[in-house]
Amino acid sequence: MNKALTWINRCFFGLLALTLSGLASAEDIDIYIGNDTTNSSLPSALIVLDNTANWARQSQQWPGGLAQGQSEVRAIKSALANQVGKLNVGILEYTTDGNANQNGAYVRFALQELTADSYAELGVALDKIFTDVNDPEEKRSANTPYGNLMRDVYSYLSGGEQSFAGGGTLSALADPDGYTTQFSTFKSPLVAETICNDVNVIFISNPNQSGPTTDDVVNSNFLTQLYADAGGVLNNKLAGTSSGTPLDIPLLSTTTESSVTDIGFSSQCYKNNEVNQCTTNESQAGKLCDGISGCACSTSQSTTTGCSGGKKKLIVQSTTNSTVVTETGEFDSVSGGNWNFDDWAKFLHEYGVPVSYESEGGETLVARVNVNVHTLDVFNAQQDAAHSGLMMSASERVGGGNYYAATNEEELELGIGDALSNILSVSSTFAAVALPLNTTNRAQNENQVFIGMFRPDQQAKPRWFGNLKEYQLGFVNNAIELVDVNGDAAVSPLTGFAAECAASFWSADSSTYWEGLGISPSPMGQCQTSVTSPWSDLPDGPFVEKGGVAQVLRNSVIGDRNLKSVSGDALVAFNSTFAGAQGLGGIYEYIRGDQVGVDETAGDSNGRPSIHGDVIHSRPLPVNYGTADQTVIYYGANDGMLRAVQVTTDAGTGEQQAEELWGLIAPEHFGKLNRLYENLPKVAFPNQDADEDPVPEPKDYFFDGSIGQLVEYNSDDQVERAYIYPVMRRGGRMVYALDVTDPEQPELLWRRGCPFTASDSECDDGFEDIGQTWSTPKSMYVAGYGDTPLLAFGGGYDSCEDDDSATSSCTAGDKGNAVFVLNAETGEIVRTFVTDRAVVGDVSPVDIDFDGKVDYLYAADTGGNIWRINFVEVVDDLFEPLEEGDWDITKSAFTTGSSRKFMNAPSVLPYQGKVYLALGSGNRERPLESNYPYVDDIDDRFYAYLDYPAETTALDLDGSLMNNSTTAPNCDANRIFPGTEQRGWFMSFPGQGEQVVNPAVIAGGNVLFNTYKPGGAQIEACTRPLGLGTAYNMSLFNGSACGRVRSEQIDNGGMPIPPGLSTVTVTRPNCEGPACDETVTICIGCKGLEPTPIEPDLDMTRRRVYWKSDIDR
């Protein structure tokens, strides 16, 4: 959306959940969807009628005995009948009075809310058109260009002058509410309350017998000036001008498709030769064909029930014919220079119309409201190829809307209805919100910060933009901030997004690549200091689709991409032969990236614009290979790929280059790929119309989980062994193991789990109870188990957890109630430890005696329990390894009642033979106020306690041995140490819905964590509340503030990222020499992305947790 106020539609940076199951279950992405508190303005549909004489041309042989124009207004009236209260509607037409050159527009029905009264008024106007369709007052001459009609669409919406100062406007037909000065100056229908929704133009066209009429240079000059006023540059050739390149007009293929629907069997019995009599009878009032066009009896099916004498009841069917117009892939690159219609549509979509409004502080501001153009190409006997191509260009190619061909009244009504459905779907599904960078899923490797990104489709279609970008930490005004490739602050303090002028690493100037691709919202940059085109990938700013790995892929040699899949126990090339054998041959080039999907326009790069899908939960895993400044990032995207991207740094210049090494497509995901190509069915979200056809379905996921690792280095700090373990989260129930010791030649070690999400068919032995694989696998060497590495992870997530209920419906028989311990090299199950409820989060290994081997493994489940797996036993205060058969699991602690859920790993700190644990309860999959439809709050809490591994009695975390630190105690009060009577403390969150959504961090005697609570305030005029994120920082030992700021709201709202500690070396700008480098320990996520310095006040050797870091080297 091209408006300075609205950011959500450009960018989602995400550590977010996305199971969109039906229209009822909740997920954490729901905070970014219009559900609880949305802008009150309605979507707007401005219907533009081509009321030239072509709407009654006899040579079209319009069916049904009516003129085209009569069917058009009747279809409008019918399509709007059920939309009262749902949208604003207006109608513009050509003026019909004055001289032939006065070919502008007038307001027939001012844009206004469609109420019962206004629908009745509109009906009067439409009925008059129907009756007087051939009256000179209702139509103008056939050979009329479209340029000034579209100019006045802009002028009406912006409140400007009519093209001919009102000339040609009939006062008897014009709506005076559409003007400030009748009829020379339009009155804009857009005010502050309506600027937050796009305007959608539905252009109903009637082709001229000789094709589109050429526009004049006056119209071209006006459009050129608008580009200049908006700070843009017009590169397209317009009518009557000599510079620029015309917009391509697509060449089309038109076919008719028929579909037959069985209605039922006839009420009477007939012989085969009595089909016509059957049809006549069934067309009577109250019979099956009553009111249904194309309805008839057929002998294709029959039943003899209730019949005799050789007669039978015949099947009654309705046959629907639809006209399908598709692009051939070829273009007319010359003729478009004569017609400005699609150039206007392109400008309206990409630059919008300016609307003034007043800020809360009284300041007059200007927003540019985006306009999407939908076209209906109405013809029957005489389709005009150039006209159809122009309509296709103006809508799907550059106007952000849809193209519809209609050859009868039924298709007209279906086209208008579908356009309205899309308009309403966008409004009800995605309210305009401002998403802060605080929800970023980021990973660090040395001084490299990798950020996965996504942006939902505005129409709730399944193909979403995504990307992976790199930033760094640097000094800005003597404080450490996230910076871009130029060392400038990467995050805008006003929005919480990447700043407009921020340039991520690897992004390069691509000239005007993003112009004219019909993408909504418009990817036009707003950086005022950039010397590149606003349509370039540089700077990429807050646009997900620009720059980063996505641009690297688009610019690569697509045919050389190294794509892989699995056959048997090995990786194989995912080439055309393999794809064809899997039934994917028809979309192989789409999967590879050089063929666009349905509804997508190709750019001028090698790869399609959407070549990189959304990165939502897959946390990027960087591995430093220790040679030639080589880092490889492994991550999953929901375009189907698990990717390996290599980043190399030139030792001399410091310049970085990125390239994709390979992409892996899992066989478990083959069945999901065609939906991405077709871009249907839509994704099911709250507030969506469940009657939509095709019915919306949950979003598909692929390798959407985070990746475990086993990486070992030799004495030269070079990788000696590197295994990675990707999981799928809601994308499936599998765990993969890949040997990436040579990152360019990956090998499949093993894969385990169940290939089907909803079925246990073909599960590997011992994995029948595995759930969706949410838990990041943790590799470890275990005390007493020799040199064989093991892999541990939680049993996973079960969809029973999705219910909006204070009391869970999950049982011991549901999936995920276990901790799996596998041989990390072979994937064989070593042990499975059963838990009461699902272990969704990561597990936490502990090396309690610091000998390099794991002694204990902690896990938390969704029933509010914490478990300890014992690999050692305590004998005379020594930790003696147990035989594998003697390993056991003990409940370490539990919460009272069944409502609290633990969905994150406990943060652990071994200390004097004991272990401090800290974690909070919550359910990030239920982030909305509407997810709490009950009176009594769950009362989520944060807990910190000291576990005694030698004990077998579980601690009641809400019992008498726990101090209530909801009100901050004094600094030295009731501190928990080994030997004290009390065992820990808890803190309640009084607000309904406030919950802990991420793991905590223990640092320097402090515990730091974040909560999320629904609600909050709007950030800007076109935003809705994203919820409140709060950062907590308190003593691990008693929950006191003790010189700290105990809680602080995180700026800009949204679900916070998990806190993470990093020690990095940062170079001060404009400084040379060793003294310029400063090594600091910081926490990113302790307060959003604002780096927080950490100065531990405990001996760091006491803080060692086995392989606590999830980012290697």
Confidence at residue 329, expressed as pLDDT on a 0 to 100 scale: 83
Round to whole Å and give the CA distance between 840 and 830. Answer: 20
Question: pLDDT of 1000-1012, one tens digit each?
Answer: 999 888 899 989 8
Of 141-150, 166-175, 1065-1074, the range with the lowest mean pLDDT is 1065-1074
Q: Examine residue 708 and state whether it is found in any structural domain, yes or no.
A: no
Q: Are 405 and 411 in contact (CB under 8 A)?
A: yes
Residue 30 clears pLDDT 70, i.e. is over it? no
Question: pLDDT of 936-974, one tens digit each?
Answer: 567 899 999 999 999 999 999 999 999 999 999 999 888
Residue 528 clears pLDDT 80, i.e. is over it? no
Residues 314 and 393 reside in one and the same domain: no
Q: Examine residue 433 and state whether it is found in any structural domain, yes or no.
A: no
Residues 927 and 954 reside in one and the same domain: yes
Confidence at residue 363, expressed as pLDDT on a 0 to 100 scale: 80
Residues 72 and 208 reside in one and the same domain: yes
Of 119-133, 145-159, 476-490, the range with the lowest mean pLDDT is 476-490
Long-range Cβ contact pairs of 291-296 (< 8 A, separation 24 or more): 292/263, 292/318, 293/318, 293/410, 294/318, 294/319, 294/320, 294/321, 295/263, 295/319
Confidence at residue 934, expressed as pLDDT on a 0 to 100 scale: 44
Domain end point (choices 388, 404, 428): 428
Question: pLDDT of 921-938, one tens digit each?
Answer: 998 776 665 555 444 567
654: pLDDT confidence band, cut at 50, 70 and 90?
Answer: confident
Share of the chain above pLDDT 70, in %: 88
Residues 272 and 315 reside in one and the same domain: yes
For the segment 705-719, the average pLDDT, to the nearest whole number, is 92
Range of the domain at 283: 256-321
- For residue 603, give the 3-state DSSP assignment: coil
Q: Examine residue 175 and state whether it is found in any structural domain, yes or no.
A: yes
Residues 204 and 295 reside in one and the same domain: no
Residues 312 and 409 reside in one and the same domain: no
List phi, psi (to 5°) of 78: -70, -40
1072: pLDDT confidence band, cut at 50, 70 and 90?
Answer: confident
Question: pLDDT of 346-399, one tens digit each?
Answer: 999 989 999 887 766 678 888 888 899 999 999 998 999 999 999 999 998 899
Round to whole Å and give the CA distance between 971 and 166. Answer: 77
Question: pLDDT of 409-428, one tens digit each?
Answer: 999 998 998 888 777 755 44
Looking up tokens 């009595």 gives 274
Residue 518 clears pLDDT 50, i.e. is over it? yes
765: pLDDT confidence band, cut at 50, 70 and 90?
Answer: very high
Tally of structural domains, the chain:
3
Share of the chain above pLDDT 90, in %: 62
Task: Return the higher-pLDDT residue of 630 and 910.
Answer: 910
Of 239-243, 619-623, 1023-1027, 1071-1075, the range with the lowest mean pLDDT is 1023-1027
436: pLDDT confidence band, cut at 50, 70 and 90?
Answer: very low
Residues 961 and 1040 reside in one and the same domain: yes
For the segment 173-189, the average pLDDT, to the nearest whole number, is 96
Domain end point (choices 428, 452, 467): 428
Residue 31 clears pLDDT 90, i.e. is over it? no
Residues 959 and 1031 reside in one and the same domain: yes
Residues 6+ apart with CB under 8 A from 1105: 844, 845, 846, 847, 908, 909, 910
Residues 1002 and 981 reside in one and the same domain: yes
Residue 365's H or E segment, with its range, is strand 364-369
Residues 291 and 357 reside in one and the same domain: no
Round to whole Å and give the CA distance between 613 and 548. Answer: 12
- Any idea what the CATH number is for the domain that residue 195 is in? 3.40.50.410
Q: Examine residue 678 and state whether it is found in any structural domain, yes or no.
A: no
Task: Return the higher-pLDDT residue of 43 and 362.
Answer: 43
Q: Are 437 and 496 in contact (CB under 8 A)?
A: yes
Q: Give one DSSP letter per residue of 875-886, joined into a string.
A: ETTEEEEPPGGG
Residues 1112 and 1061 reside in one and the same domain: yes
Measured CA to CA in angstroms, residue 398 lies from 492, 542, 608, 872 at distances of 30, 21, 16, 66
Round to whole Å and give the CA distance between 876 and 29. Answer: 51
Confidence at residue 1053, expressed as pLDDT on a 0 to 100 scale: 63
Residue 1103 clears pLDDT 50, i.e. is over it? no
Round to whole Å and give the CA distance between 256 and 737. Answer: 49
Measured CA to CA in angstroms, residue 464 lies from 5, 429, 469, 766, 979 at distances of 22, 15, 16, 36, 55
Map 452-482 to HEC letters. Answer: EEEECCCCCCCCCEEEEEEEEEEEECCEEEE
Question: Could you tell me which of 23, 174, 163, 43 has the C-alpha nearest to residue 104?
Answer: 163
Tell me which amino acid residue 1002 is. I
Residues 117 and 196 reside in one and the same domain: yes
Domain end point (choices 428, 458, 485): 428
Looking up tokens 């071994």 gives 910
Computed over every residue of the chain, the mean pLDDT equals: 87
Residue 490 clears pLDDT 80, i.e. is over it? yes
Confidence at residue 663, expressed as pLDDT on a 0 to 100 scale: 98
Q: Examine residue 477 and state whether it is found in any structural domain, yes or no.
A: no
Confidence at residue 674, expressed as pLDDT on a 0 to 100 scale: 98
Cα dihedral sign, 1091-1095-1096-1097:
negative
Q: Are 762 and 754 in contact (CB under 8 A)?
A: yes
CB atoms near residue 740 (< 10 Å): 24
